[in-house]
Amino acid sequence: MKRPILLHPDPRLKKVCASVDDLDDDLRKLADDMLETMYDAPGIGLAAPQVGVLTRLIVLDCVKEEGEEPRPLVMFNPEILAKSDEQSTYDEGCLSIPEQYAEVKRPAEVDVAWLDRDGNPQSETFSGLWATCVQHEIDHLNGKLFIDYLTPIKRQIITRRMQKLKREKARA
């Protein structure tokens, strides 16, 4: 089941999310709904607070090439264990901030640990778009958006555009 995506500004996108300690079927269903919502958008990642659930759960699939095998990842309680000194810059977007893009510099590689949908611990080193995306998603769990890396002026421009968009949507 697809779920509606919250749009910035929304107080729920600014909260620190709670860890998962009992991985039950409701949470697995939420992960499946998030993957469906992400692919439908389309997007390469989605964090639970973006669908209004303040729990440490993210999903991602950064396989972009048409015809390549998809790789849906579900991560409960994801944690960054190490970051590279090397940085890389991507033009980032966010499904909660539609049609707004800005360059963000982040570590080029990260080691991440998480629990998979069966509650088994996993870890992997991510680079390229995967590294950017997993950091963007983990930021969501800590109430942080990519626009928080921009200058206050740029952030304000984007936030005002979003307020206008939300007003228009509310009237439509």
Which residues are annotated as catalytic? 137
- The residue (of 27 and 136) whose beta carbon lies closer to ligand GNR is 136
If one asks whether residue 137 binds ligand GNR (CB under 6 A), the answer comes out as yes
Place of tokens 């990519």: 146
Place of tokens 């009237």: 171
If one asks whether residue 93 binds ligand GNR (CB under 6 A), the answer comes out as yes
Count the residues of the shown chain that bind ligand GNR, applying the rule CB under 6 A.
17
Cβ pair 45, 38 in contact under 8 A: yes
Do strands 45-47 and 57-60 pair parallel, antiparallel, or not at all (unpaired)?
Answer: antiparallel
Q: Count CA atoms within 13 Å of residue 153 on its CB side.
A: 0
If one asks whether residue 92 binds ligand GNR (CB under 6 A), the answer comes out as yes
Amino acid at 97: I
- The residue (of 90 and 114) whose beta carbon lies closer to ligand GNR is 90
Cβ pair 30, 47 in contact under 8 A: no
CB of 22 to ligand GNR, least distance (A): 25
- The residue (of 94 and 131) whose beta carbon lies closer to Ni ion is 94
Which residues lie near ligand GNR (CB under 6 A)?
A: 43-47, 50, 90, 92-96, 132-133, 136-137, 140
